[in-house]
Amino acid sequence: MRIFYSDKGMTRMQVGAAIGLVLLLAGIVVFLVRYDDSHGLQSAFEQSVKKIHIIQTMSRDLLASAEAEKSAVMADTDEASQTFAEQSSQAAQHVEKARRELEPLLGGNRQEAHLFREFSRCWDKLQEIDREVLALAVQNTNLKALRLSFVPAAEAMRRMEEALNHLIDVVSASPDAVGITRLASKAVMGALNIYTLQAPHIAEITATRMDEMEAVMHSLDVQVTDALQSLQARVDEPGKPFLEAAWASYKDFQNINAAIVDLSRQNSNIRSYALSLGQKRKTTAQCQDVLAALQETVQQSMTYKATR
């Protein structure tokens, strides 16, 4: 028995098979597209999370650097200033490393890229200020000047006054006792007045006011020197050892005072403190504001992608 299939019947079967194949392929395509969209959304979300983490790390290290810098400025020893300065520099290096890691992640978003460039400009300015502040902070010239004034200068003054008081006692029976006492007192008062100008000079910011104080110091130094030289001609042999001791002590005081003035002129602590409270604080706040805006922009982008 033969069975024959018509051409028409074969055509229907072929068409049915073709339709089925098309539907199958369409289903596969839809699945793949949905998978790609889901995978792409997941990748974008993960990248945004990474960006936020880096930004938060930068903000934390930026604050750590600023705090260490303040400690370096406020430290009362060279060793402490140096330690805090190194900590500040290390935290700043971490910010820079994170900044470079963040940069290639922001190329696809115009607003994020704009804020990143704004932060980079602010960060460059902040690093420039930091280099100046930390370089000044570790010098501690004002603190060193104060230490010289409080100890060596005060000790030299004490020795000078003690020597001249002994001289006054020795010549008390001399016919010229009143004149010698007056000259000795003039020398001591002149030196004491120089000493009282040291602290204001160390605390002074302006060069003009320093010039004025140094001019007064010079006139007082002339007064002391003239008084001691006048005593040379009026003091007899018993009093000369004390006068020589007074001279030696005053020469020590002169040298110490010159060192104090030189250190005070550098004004490293006052200048670093002024920079820290002024430009540094303002620029740090600006950088933090830009980072906060950048983080907010990334978060908004995450929300948009998640609800799209």
Q: pLDDT of 87-100, one tens digit each?
A: 999 999 999 999 99
Mean pLDDT of the chain: 87
How does residue 40 score in pLDDT terms, banded at 50, 70 and 90?
very low
Q: Does the structure show a pLDDT above 90 at 44?
A: no
Look at residue 4 in the predicted model and tell me its pLDDT: 42
At 193-207, the pLDDT tens digits run 999 999 999 999 999
Q: Which CATH number is 51-136+273-307's, of 1.10.3470, 1.10.287, 2.60.120, 1.20.1440? A: 1.20.1440
Domain spans of the chain, in order of start: 51-136+273-307, 141-266
Q: Give me the DSSP letters along the chain.
A: ------HHHHHHHHHHHHHHHHHHHHHHHHHHHHHHHHHHHHHHHHHHHHHHHHHHHHHHHHHHHHHHHHHHHH-SSHHHHHHHHHHHHHHHHHHHHHHHHHGGGSTT-HHHHHHHHHHHHHHHHHHHHHHHHHHHHTT-HHHHHHHHIIIIIHHHHHHHHHHHHHHHHHTTTSTTHHHHHHHHHHHHHHHHHHHHHHHHHHH---HHHHHHHHHHHHHHHHHHHHHHHHHHHH--GGGHHHHHHHHHHHHHHHHHHHHHHHHHHH-HHHHHHHHIIIIIHHHHHHHHHHHHHHHHHHHHHHHHHHH-
**Average pLDDT of the segment spanning 155-180:** 95
In this predicted structure, what is the pLDDT of residue 13?
60
Q: Do domains 51-136+273-307 and 141-266 have the same CATH topology?
A: yes
- Calculate what percentage of the chain has a pLDDT beyond 70: 83
pLDDT tops 60 at residue 255: yes
239 close to 192: Cβ distance less than 8 angstroms:
no
Q: In the predicted model, is pLDDT for residue 12 greater than 70? A: no
pLDDT of residue 1: 43
Residues with Cβ < 8 Å from 201, sequence gap 6 or more? 210, 213, 214, 260, 261, 264
**Residue 73 confidence (pLDDT):** 92
For residue 139, the model assigns a pLDDT of 93
Global pTM value: 0.73
Domain 141-266 has CATH 1.10.20: no
pLDDT tens figures, 114-153: 999 999 999 999 999 999 999 999 999 999 999 999 999 9
pLDDT at 38 over 50: no
- C-alpha span between 203 and 265 (Å, rounded): 10
The answer on pLDDT for 56 being more than 80 is yes
